[in-house]
Amino acid sequence: MRGAGIACGPLNDFAAVVKDPQVIHRGMFREMPDPACGTLTFVANPIRLSEAPPDYVRAPPALGQHGAEVLQEWLGMDEAALATIKAEIGG
- Tell me what pLDDT residue 90 has: 79
Tell if the pTM clears 0.85, that is, is over it: no
| pLDDT score at 91 | 64
- How is 31-69 classified by DSSP, letter by letter? EEEETTTEEEEEEPPS---TTS-----SPPPPTTTTHHH
Dist CA 73 CA 29 (whole Å): 33
Instruction: Report the range of poorest mean pLDDT among 7-11, 36-40, 56-60.
Output: 56-60
**What is the number of alpha carbons within 13 Å of residue 44 lying toward its C-beta?**
19
pLDDT surpassing 80 at residue 20: yes
pLDDT of residue 83: 92
Q: What's the pLDDT score for residue 53?
A: 85
Contact 66, 74 (CB under 8 A): no
The H or E element containing residue 30 is: strand 29-34
Helix (H, G, I), strand (E, B) or coil at 21: helix
